[in-house]
Amino acid sequence: MACRISVISRHISSPPLEHLDDLGIRVAPEVRSALSSGVGVVALESTIVSHGMPYPQNFHTAQEVESIVRANGAVPATIAILDGVPCIAWIGLSLAELERLAKLGTMVSKTARRDIPYVIARRGNGATTVSATMFFASKAGIKVFVTGGIGGVHRQGESTMDVSSDLTELGKTPVAVVCAGVKSILDIPRTLEYLETQGVTVVSYSTDEFPAFFTPNSGCKAPCRADSVEECADIIEASTKFGLSSGILIGVPIPAEHAAAAKNVESAIQSALHEAESRGIAGNSVTPFLLKRVNELTGGDSLAANIQLVKNNALVGAKIATALTTRLSRFTKSSCH
């Protein structure tokens, strides 16, 4: 008998990977196998390696995050552009290549969606941001992406119009982004309003309050709450079944024992913002500068918090990816007789 829910079920299965070969996108054999056999896959960005923290902490953190994803039942898939070729998967990069990316640091192009054609055309090296990572993950049928925190509406964004492409990507790309919320260097209330306008489902994990990256509290109530990875998977499954084109943002608060003192971080942010303005720092240079300066002003507390929250996000994201593959597989089978 034919599938009873044919309109819905065609949104469930992952796209064939052969089209990625035609585009010149290299998918590592392990990731390809996982996607084909229904094993959970977690996309990971590469900007956090090149721009998120200094060497060698970035290299060691990248390896540790990969191990955490594996330990929780999923396959890690770091997305980067090397010599003009998007490479989806850590396993597609040798250890030496990953360390090369970590050592090059900010010399690697920070690549958002808008930058993809330029970097590839010039056969350059690109560290993908949230928007570019979501784009490539969606191409491969990867439904869960783990990062530290997303970009948003910058403070005074109502005057500067400085709004991260992460938000518009979430509005049009069906990937669930697991993060520690919106960076506290940004305007969190306006960011949440913008996400609502984009039709993005925003979920806080085990809390009513939307997390603020370095700290678990932002003072902003989250639109939705999920108290388990199973509930998160249910939300992603529902969105996938009905072919919603928007993404899902899952905010996981940093564990309290690793949170930097909110007061000290906020004071450092205000100082860093003033310094950035006085030095004329703008555009995509603002966030890296602010994160670096805040880390310096907090004596390393913010970097330590950054590393811990990424690890925690990886743990939660891997469990969500595993729970999700079970649900989508069960739905596909039950809809056919």
What's the pLDDT at 89? 53
What's the pLDDT at 171? 98
The answer to the question of residue 97 being in a domain is yes
The range of the structural domain enclosing residue 287 comes to 6-334
Of residues 295, 297, 277, the one with CA closest to residue 286: 277
- CA atoms of 249 and 167, how far apart (whole Å): 10
Summarised one tens digit per residue, pLDDT across range 49-89 is 998 888 998 999 999 999 999 999 999 999 999 888 887 75
Query: What is the Rg, in whole angstroms, of the alpha carbon atoms belonging to the chain?
Result: 19
- CA atoms of 181 and 202, how far apart (whole Å): 10
What's the pLDDT at 12? 53
Task: List phi, psi (to 5°) of 252.
Answer: -110, 115
Which CATH number does the domain housing residue 84 bear? 3.40.1790.10
The answer to the question of residue 1 being in a domain is no
- CA atoms of 248 and 271, how far apart (whole Å): 33
The answer to the question of residue 65 being in a domain is yes
The answer to the question of residue 208 being in a domain is yes
296: left (phi over 0), alpha (psi -120 to 50) or beta: alpha
The answer to the question of residue 88 being in a domain is yes
What's the pLDDT at 238? 95
Longest pairwise C-alpha distance within the chain: 69
What's the pLDDT at 46? 93
Dihedral, 113, 14, 8, 224 alpha carbons, nearest 10: -60
Record the tokens describing residue 128, joined without a space. Answer: 């993908």
Q: Which amino acid is at 93?
A: L
The answer to the question of residue 290 being in a domain is yes
Residues catalogued as catalytic: 45, 183
What's the pLDDT at 214? 85
- Name the domain count of the chain: 1
**Residues of the chain below pLDDT 50:** 1-11, 90-91, 336-337
What's the pLDDT at 333? 52
The answer to the question of residue 295 being in a domain is yes
Q: What is the DSSP letter of 86?
A: E
